[in-house]
A and B are shown apart, each in its own frame.
Chain A
Amino acid sequence: MAAANDPIHQFQIVPLIGDGPIAFTNSAFYMGLTVAVITGFLMLATSARTLVPGRFQSLAELSYEFVAKTVQDSAGKEGMKFFPFVFSLFMFILVSNLIGMIPYTFTVSSHLIVTAALALSVFVTVLVVGFAKHGVGFLRLFVPHGIPIFILPLVVAIEVISFLSRPISHSVRLFANMLAGHITLKVLAGFVTMLSAGLGALGLLIGIIPLALAVAITALEFLVAFLQAYVFTILTCIYINDALHPGH
């Protein structure tokens, strides 16, 4: 009963193979599954290499062109150097989110450490590329043009703080969305069973309300799964653009 209705239970990490800190856990399994699904999908979809694409090839081309356009719009032609990285991030988050929508699965991005690691990889990439490309000139990022000198220190301080808080907001946004969505779904679905168990037929009747809500939230969660992957990707592109062109 406790495990069945516990909305937190789904986030538990349990070792599947081995033991100790780096045991192969359910989280690791779903990360691997995500990679396998992405790679398998792209390889199968592009195996025919037809001139007029079929459904799957269209989808593969669509995902490629969608991310490529996002990168080019936000970070310009130069940003295409980071296209494989951005594409991997987008597909990894999107596919793991979608796999997480299947009941009884585990959502990789519902763990802060995973989203934080992804966000930090973007943050570190931006720092490394920014300083490698512009040297100290990268610090111009914190000094916007056309600001009166007497409020400049304040503006620079705000810019520095906002820059440093980027990986936090970047990772917490995705993590919190996935976590909250899955808890909401579980709580609503739990209401249905609890009502029917507690009130019998009447409870089952009342249970229609949380059930309808759960169905509606499920649809919303599919949107959120895509949207959060997209938001993570577009923010990545914007941050990379800062590394490439720091002079606002």
Chain B
Amino acid sequence: MFEKIGPSGLYAIMPRDGGSDGLVVLAAAETGAPAETHAATEAHGGAGGHKEPFPPFNSATFAGQLFWLAIFFGLLLWLMSKVALPRVQNILEGRAERIENDLAEANRLKTETDEAIAAYEKTLADARAEGHRIAGEMHEKVSKEAEAHRLKLEDELNAKLESSEQLIAETKLQALGNVRGIAVDAASAIVERLSGKQPAANDVEKAVDASLAA
């Protein structure tokens, strides 16, 4: 055992009974022989009441230390496992749960946003298609009306053209009739002047017709 051998704090390993047999001096190199004799006298004399063993190896304190260590470490173990650690665990789990929930909520909101965007885009596409359809219909309607208008106008013009042509033909026929009468009159007057005799109206008319037909 370590035992105190002097006031300067030197320790020697010596038998528990403090006997001089097998004496080993720890600090022999430093202090040399005097320490040994000093230790020996101290051990033998036991004077000064300095015979305290090196504290960590003083077996007299072992029982007390073990007793209080068992009580306090047991208490610590109980406090940690029953009170303190569950509290910390509670906090950590609560936070992890909260983060998880928030992440789930964020994901849900993101999905909703995506859906809203998709719906908006669909509405936009629908509106665009509707616009195209209306524009097409309008165009068709307008062009149909224009066509109808054109056809009506053409019909009217055709009718006018026809009536005009008829009028021209009538006028022409009438004029031609007048030409024949004038021609007959002129022919009978020419013949009368030349021959002195009035030709038969029949002959003159025949001759005029023949010449008109030619």
Residues on A lying within 8 angstroms of B by beta carbon are 1-2, 5-9, 11-13, 21-25, 27-28, 31-32, 34-35, 38-39, 42-43, 46, 49, 51, 53, 57, 60-61, 64-65, 83-85, 87-88, 91-92, 110-114, 117-118, 121, 175, 179
A64: contacting residue among B58, B73, B85, B94, CB under 8 A: B85
Q: Are A91 and B64 touching (Cβ within 8 A)?
A: no
A91: contacting residue among B65, B66, B80, CB under 8 A: B80
Interface residues as binary, B59-82 with A (CB distance below 8 Å gives 1, 0 otherwise) = 011111111111011011101110
**Which of A13, A21, A85, A113 has the most C-beta atoms of chain B within 10 angstroms of its own C-beta?**
A113
B contact patch SS: helix
Asked if B186 is at the interface (CB within 8 A of a chain A CB), the reply is: no
**Which of A9, A34, A39, A46 has the most C-beta atoms of chain B within 10 angstroms of its own C-beta?**
A46
B69: contacting residue among A7, A31, A61, CB under 8 A: A31
Report the nearest A residue to B92, measured CB to CB. A61
- 25 interchain pairs (CB within 8 A)? A9-B9, A11-B55, A13-B61, A21-B67, A22-B67, A27-B68, A28-B72, A31-B69, A31-B73, A32-B68, A32-B72, A34-B72, A34-B76, A35-B76, A38-B79, A39-B76, A39-B84, A42-B84, A46-B84, A51-B95, A60-B88, A61-B88, A88-B76, A88-B77, A110-B56
For B77, the chain A residues whose CB sits under 8 A away are 84-85, 88
For B94, the chain A residues whose CB sits under 8 A away are 49, 51
For A21, the chain B residues whose CB sits under 8 A away are 60, 63-64, 67
A23: contacting residue among B62, B64, B92, CB under 8 A: B64
For A22, the chain B residues whose CB sits under 8 A away are 63-64, 67-68
Q: Are A84 and B91 touching (Cβ within 8 A)?
A: no
With A8-B11, A43-B87, A117-B66 known as contacts, the answer to whether A27 contacts B56 (CB < 8 A) is no
Number of A-B residue pairs with CB-CB distance less than 8 Å in the complex they form: 137
With A64-B85, A64-B88, A64-B89 known as contacts, the answer to whether A92 contacts B63 (CB < 8 A) is no
In the bound complex, CA of A89 to CA of B168 (Å): 132
Q: Are A35 and B79 touching (Cβ within 8 A)?
A: yes
For A35, the chain B residues whose CB sits under 8 A away are 72-73, 75-76, 79
In the bound complex, CA of A13 to CA of B77 (Å): 24
Given contact pairs A6-B9, A27-B64, A111-B65, enumerate 11 new A-B contacts (beta carbons under 8 Å).
A2-B8, A7-B9, A21-B63, A25-B68, A27-B68, A31-B73, A42-B87, A43-B87, A51-B95, A61-B92, A85-B77
Asked if B57 is at the interface (CB within 8 A of a chain A CB), the reply is: yes
Q: Are A51 and B68 touching (Cβ within 8 A)?
A: no
Interface residues as binary, B116-142 with A (CB distance below 8 Å gives 1, 0 otherwise) = 000000000000000000000000000
Closest 3 CB pairs of A and B: A84-B81, A28-B68, A11-B55
